[in-house]
Amino acid sequence: MRGGGTGMLEDELKRAIETFNQRVRTDPKLQAEVRGKVRKVLLELTDSESFNFTLKDESLGPLGRGKIGDPDIHITTDSVTMTALMKREMGPMKALVTKRLKLTKISMEDLSTLRKLF
């Protein structure tokens, strides 16, 4: 599913990470929120490949392909839902309620930070 689906989603994820990192550099409140945090994130797409990235040193990235062991935050969804979330065509609460998005191993504080990414 690389062609139009996963490749486009990968580009969207890279843009979201870049935008998040720019916000961290310019927003003192967000800097304080992520300061000292280290989180490994696994984005598992049920119909495609998985991606991973790390929050460390007040920065996200780089975006990697494949699963990682023992993630701090595990996001499970399909590529259609993830694309809709990235394009803001669907909200995360709707995706959670309809069980199209599953978050495991995540604290409320981390959820708040993650919402600033998507």
pLDDT(105) > 50: yes
SS3 of the chain: the string is CHHHHHHHHHHHHHHHHHHHHHHHHHCHHHHHHHCCCCEEEEEEECCCCCEEEEEECCEECCCEECCCCCCCEEEEECHHHHHHHHCCCCCHHHHHHCCCEEEECCCHHHHHHHHCCC
pLDDT digits (tens, 9 = 90+) for 54-97: 999 999 989 999 999 999 999 999 999 999 998 889 988 899 99
Which residue ranges form the domains of the chain, and what is each CATH number?
Answer: 2-115 (3.30.1050.10)
